[in-house]
Amino acid sequence: MDGKTVAAAGPGASRDEPVLDRLGRRLHDLRISVTDRCNFRCIYCMPREVYGRDFAFLPRGQVLTFEEIVRLARLFAGEGVEKLRITGGEPLVRRDLPDLIAMLAEVRRIDGGPVDLTLTTNGSALRSLAGALRDAGLGRITVSLDSLDEETFRAMNGVDYPVSKVLDGIAAAREAGFGPIKVNMVVRRGINEASIVPMARWARSEGHILRFIEYMDVGHSNGWRLDEVVPASEIVAAISAEMPLEPIAPNYPGEVADRWAYAGGDGEVGVIASVTAPFCGACTRARISADGQLYTCLFAVKGTDLRDLARSGVTDAELTDAIRVVWSIRADRYSELRSEATADLPRVEMFAMGG
C-alpha cells in the first residue's frame, strides 16, 4: 500500500497524529492470541460437544512465530498502542512462552516507555510458569475463575479440572511477585450466579481484583441466550447487600469494566456489561488471532490477514499502512446494535481471536 491509499482511507490516516477510526476512537489496547488451543473446554467458549478430540486446530505453520508477533506488536506500539495482552486459547500451552514475553518486554510506546504487558490465563500452568513469566518481564496476570464451588467449576471448565489447582496457580503468581491479581468470572444464569457473592468475599479477603463478565453472544458455539445473562446491576446489588459498594472512576478512557470500591476502602470489583450496558463508543481495542488475522471487534464477522502480508516481504512501513487503513475505516459497535436481527449473523469464535 502506498501513501495515497492511506490518505484515502478516511479520518485519522495522516502519520502526523494517531490514527482514529470513523467514530473518533484511537488505538490503545492490542490483544494477541498466541495459540488457538486450550486444555479447558469452558461451556461459554469451547464447549466439548463442538471442540472434541477430532477438532482440527491450526497447523503449526499457520500460527504466528514469536518474531512475527513481536514485529506486529512493535508496529502497533508505534501507532499508539500502550497495552499488550497475551491471550489464547490458553496462552500457557504455547511452548517457550516466557521467551516471547522477554521479547515483548522490549517493545516501547511512542513516548519511549515500556508497554503495559499483561496475560490472561486459566491458571492451570501457573505453578510451573509464573516465576519464569515474571522474570521475563510480564507485568500483570489475569486468571479466569468462574466459581469456587468444586462441582460448579468442574462443570464449567468442561474437563473436570479441580478448582484447587487454579487457586494454587494464583498463589504461585502471587509468590512470583504479581499483584494485585485480576480474576475474571463469567456469570451465566442457572449455572454459577450463586457463586457471585462467595467469589467477591474471597477476592476481597485475598486482595485480588475481581471482574464479573456478563455472558456474551461471542461466536455461535456457546448456545447463547439473553435469558441466561445476569445483568451487571443484579451482580452489583447482590454484592452490595452484604458488602456495600461505591462507584469509582475508570483507570483510563475506554476501560471496559465499570469499577466499584468497597465502602470500607479495602479493594474493588468491576463488572463488564457488554450486553446490558454496551461501551462500544469508547472501545480502543484491536485483536490479532493466532494465525495473524486482525479483528477490530470481539463480535467480528471476519478479519484482515496480516500474517500473509507480513510473510510476503512487505516493509514495516507498508505493514503499518495496512494496519492504519483497517483502523481508520473501522465503525464497529455491535453491542450497541445488538438485536434479533443481528443474533444469527456469522461471527468468529472467541477462542480463535483471543477474547
Asked if residue 192 lies in contact with residue 238, where contact means CB atoms within 8 angstroms, the answer is no
Please, is 101 exposed, middle or buried when counting C-beta atoms within 10 Å of its C-beta (0-12, 13-18, 19+)?
buried
State the Cα–Cα distance between residues 305 and 136, nearest whole angstrom: 29
- The CATH number linked to 32 is 3.20.20.70
Q: How large is the angle between the packed helices 97-104 and 126-136, nearest 10 degrees?
A: 30
Task: Read off the pLDDT of residues 38-71 as tens digits, 9 standing for 90 and up.
Answer: 999 988 878 888 888 888 899 999 999 999 999 9
Q: What angle do CA 258, 43, 236 make, to 5 degrees?
A: 25
Residue 336 has pLDDT above 90, yes or no: no
State the Cα–Cα distance between residues 40 and 100, nearest whole angstrom: 22
Question: 79: Cβ–Cβ under 8 A, 6 or more apart, which residues?
Answer: 18, 19, 27, 320, 323, 324, 327
pTM of the predicted model, to two decimals?
Answer: 0.87
Residue 277 has pLDDT above 80, yes or no: no
The range of the structural domain enclosing residue 105 comes to 3-353
Lowest pLDDT segment from 154-158, 283-287, 318-322, 342-346: 342-346
Domain tally, the chain: 1
Predicted local confidence at residue 257, as pLDDT? 83
Task: Read off the pLDDT of residues 228-258 as tens digits, 9 standing for 90 and up.
Answer: 889 999 999 999 999 999 999 887 766 778 8
Task: Read off the pLDDT of residues 181-215 as tens digits, 9 standing for 90 and up.
Answer: 999 999 999 999 999 999 999 999 999 999 999 88
CA-nearest of 284, 274, 265, 278 to 350 is: 274
